[in-house]
Structure 1
Amino acid sequence: MGLRDLIDRFAAGIATDTGPDVDEERARRLADAAADSAVTAAALSASGGRTQYPLVAYVEDGEQPEYLFRGGTLLVDDGDSLARETPTRELAVVVTDARFLFVVGGRLSDSLFEVPFADVVTAYVDDEDDRTYLVVEGDRDGDELTFFADVTMDPRVDALRAATERAESAPE
């Protein structure tokens, strides 16, 4: 087997990974019940364009996505260091009835970060400068993390504020 055959075999293996099966009916039900009109069945079930896998694959059973925002870079600060998560595809922020999901779309795989509402210390929108950030500070068992999601490309500041208010008012 030559190098070309090896490359073709490897590439074929990647192309056949379609990821999790998408339940179109579930995506439609979730979209119909969402508070935000940006949460559509198409947005939840699409894959390959913005993220490697469909967003509905990251929503747990019994969980309801309420808001969906598109963004660029995600910065994660753990107090000691700052990590820049730059998607090769796109950042999707899904706010459910229970948590914030930050899906950093990648060519081969997505990176997923979550902050359950029970762990949220504060959530707010920073739109004082030219850029708009959704900022979520979380504390899980003494481990503090702050997520700065650049959502400048999504001009719906009122929806962002509504999403943060939902998180702040969620029952513990």
Structure 2
Amino acid sequence: MLVKLSSGIYIGEAKVTDPISGKIRKLKHAVIHFGGNNSNIKGKTSDAPCRKCFNKHGDPGVTLTCSKCFQKGDMFSTYMYDVSFITFNTTTNGTCTTASCDEPDVVIKRAYGFLHNQNFGDYDLVFNNCEHFATACKTGKARCNQAALGFGVAGAIVYKAARRLRW
């Protein structure tokens, strides 16, 4: 069974502005995330805007949404940080890292920084995806173990080299 996972930063309460009326609404369970379906096709939207968070599903870049829009058919799971090397090598790629994460206030500040500045770059499934975004917020360094280790150790080495050449 193939499971689609999306990575984002749960921030709790947040305020969103209705683009039509200009009224501000408070969300109880908000998530900041990057990319998603159609995120590499600029300007393409797949659904009407959400009535709760006003998200236009499929908009490119870093977005703030309600947790329901973020989930959108995906399952929730916790990405684990600071795991042992043994745990890292025996779990599904893209679910954990040996890197330590920063304090929640630092993580949320980084996520809001990427949201307000829209400076996380263009979405790329292999080199700049939602896992890169979430790990950049949590650790200060963008990583994607799912892409890097999808083809074993050799794949991780090729991925690292290709990522460096790309920038």
The answer to whether TM tops 0.5 is no
TM-score (norm 2): 0.24
The structure where strand makes up a greater share of residues is 1
* TM-score normalised by the chain length of structure 1: 0.24
Q: 1 or 2, which has the higher helix percentage?
A: 2
